[in-house]
Amino acid sequence: MFEKIDSSLIKRLKKDKVTLVGIFVLIFLYTAILFAPFVAPYSQTHSSRDLSYTPPCKIFTVTSDYKLSKPYTYNYIREFNPDTYSIEYKMDRSKKYYVNFLQKGESYKLFGFIPSNIHLFGVDKGGEIFLLGTDINGRDNFSRLLFGGQISLTIGFLALFISFPIGMLYGGISGYFGGVTDMLMMRVAEAIMSIPSFYLLIILAAVLPSGMSSVQRFTMITAILAFIGWAGFARVIRGMVLSIKEQEFIEASKSIGAGSFRIITKHILPQTISYVVVAITLSVPSYILAESGLSFLGLGIQQPDASWGNMLKEAQEYVNILSRPWLLTPGFLIFVAVLSFNLVGDTIRDILDPKSKARR
């Protein structure tokens, strides 16, 4: 079965260039956040208070006399414009700061345990490099996007690892035994599905201990929601099990004395793996959007920790959208990540269930 899936997947990827782009985008994003401490020139809490809302720096490769040069940039000077009563930034062209690769900088631990102070790039001492500008606190948006992506792109998998095994086993038991067992179990699942998750989130955000970090808070909220989010998935698995249990190989397993639990876990549930793979792929975007939305509303990751949702919160003011468009970058990355997952998920669904494509 899996050899057939792998063969079909490779053939489809060769033909579907759009899906290939989606896969490469996801590989690029996850590689970037995996090596975030190395790629980012600063930590997510590094702040230059006098450089609030600094625009993205410009990288030059040609000197004033039109000769090729090593990449360099200029620092920004913050000035107050008395005519417009606003803060303006101008480049200080009195000194160049050259961009250096594999430069020593702030110390960090790669993968959480490998100590290092080498960054992918940086500038000469005394210079600042802000590829995507800074936020209201003068923190580098490029660095915070990388660290924020570690949360926004991965925290949803925690919920999947909790909800999907519960949903598979619960739905498998319900569908296999049927009758009164099935009726009672499905009524419980429907009751859980009726819980309003949004209001539950507000309650959880209020009652969780104040001493918890924002990452711990949101991880706990996600875990709790996962325990009530399995019900819809269990209903689908239950419907699949109702048809699978009538097949001949299940009757053969019963005839040789296999127990009910073994039949469910070893023979029935593996037959649903195609749907499970597709469901996981298509569920990840919803958790990315959920994290972003909750952090945007102030119920998720809190400052100074970064996530794409709370970074995007600064762009809710129309003044920032018009005059500081670089603050919209987190929203663009959310859009790209969700679109890429949906493209890959649709392709996997078409491969594992060709009938679904015919029905559309």
Provide the sign of the torsion angle of the four alpha carbons 345, 351, 355, 358, taken in this order.
Answer: positive
Q: Using alpha carbons only, what angle is made at residue 196 by residues 191 and 198, rounded to the nearest 5 degrees?
A: 155
pLDDT in the model for residue 1: 43
Domain match, 258 and 207 both: yes
Provide the sign of the torsion angle of the four alpha carbons 254, 256, 261, 267, taken in this order.
Answer: negative
CA dihedral defined by 77, 317, 132, 310, rounded to 10 degrees? 120
Domain count, the chain: 2
Q: Convert the pLDDT of each residue in 288-325 to its tens digit.
A: 888 888 787 777 788 888 889 888 888 887 888 888 89
Domain match, 106 and 253 both: no
DSSP 8-state code for residue 263: I
CB-based contacts of 95: which residues, under 8 Å, 6+ apart?
74, 75, 126
Quick check: is 250 in a domain?
Answer: yes
Q: Please tell me the total number of residues recorded for the chain in this structure.
A: 360
pLDDT in the model for residue 260: 85
For every residue of 164-231, DSSP letters joined together read: HHHHHHHHHHHHHH-HHHHHHHHHHHHHHHTS-HHHHHHHHHHHS-TTS-HHHHHHHHHHHHHHHHHH
Domain match, 117 and 208 both: no
pLDDT in the model for residue 276: 85
Q: Any idea what the CATH number is for the domain that residue 172 is in?
A: 1.10.3720.10
pLDDT in the model for residue 81: 81
Domain match, 274 and 191 both: yes
Domain match, 234 and 275 both: yes
Domain match, 192 and 283 both: yes
For every residue of 109-170, DSSP letters joined together read: EETTTEEEEEEEEEE-TT----TT-B-TT-BBHHHHHHHHHHHHTTHHHHHHHHHHHHHHHH
Quick check: is 143 in a domain?
Answer: no
Q: How far apart are CA 66 and CA 129, in angstroms?
A: 23
Provide the sign of the torsion angle of the four alpha carbons 239, 190, 299, 322, taken in this order.
Answer: positive
Domain boundary among 138, 166, 191: 138
pLDDT in the model for residue 54: 92
Residue carrying structure tokens 């969780």: 208
pTM of the predicted model as reported, rounded to 2 decimal places: 0.85
Q: Convert the pLDDT of each residue in 191-203 to its tens digit.
A: 988 888 777 777 7
Domain boundary among 138, 164, 187: 138
Q: How far apart are CA 132 and CA 57, in angstroms?
A: 7
pLDDT in the model for residue 10: 66
Residue carrying structure tokens 């590989």: 27
What type of residue sits at position 166?
I
Residue carrying structure tokens 């429907």: 190
Angle between the N-to-C axes of helices 17-34 and 2-15, in degrees from 0 to 180, rounded to the nearest 10? 100
Residue whose C-alpha is closest to residue 53's, from 172, 138, 151: 138
Domain match, 103 and 165 both: no
Quick check: is 122 in a domain?
Answer: yes
Quick check: is 76 in a domain?
Answer: yes
Quick check: is 100 in a domain?
Answer: yes
Domain match, 92 and 185 both: no
Quick check: is 322 in a domain?
Answer: yes
Domain match, 192 and 73 both: no
Q: Determine which helix (DSSP H) or strand (DSSP E) holds 91, and give its type and residue range.
A: strand 86-110
Q: Which strands form 60-62's sheet, in the order they lie side by side?
A: 60-62, 68-81, 86-110, 114-123
Q: With contact defined as beta carbons under 8 Å apart, do 12 and 350 qualify?
A: yes
Domain boundary among 92, 110, 138: 138
Report, as ranges of residue numbers, the positions in the chain whose pLDDT lies below 70: 1-10, 12-14, 352-360
Domain match, 116 and 180 both: no
Domain match, 337 and 201 both: yes
Residue whose C-alpha is closest to residue 337's, from 201, 164, 155: 155
Domain that holds residue 170: 155-359
pLDDT in the model for residue 304: 84
The SS3 call for residue 76 is strand
Domain match, 207 and 275 both: yes
Beta-strand relationship, 114-123 and 68-81? unpaired
Quick check: is 39 in a domain?
Answer: no
DSSP 8-state code for residue 328: G
Please give the structure tokens belonging to residue 205. Answer: 């955000």
Q: How far apart are CA 358 and CA 360, in angstroms?
A: 6
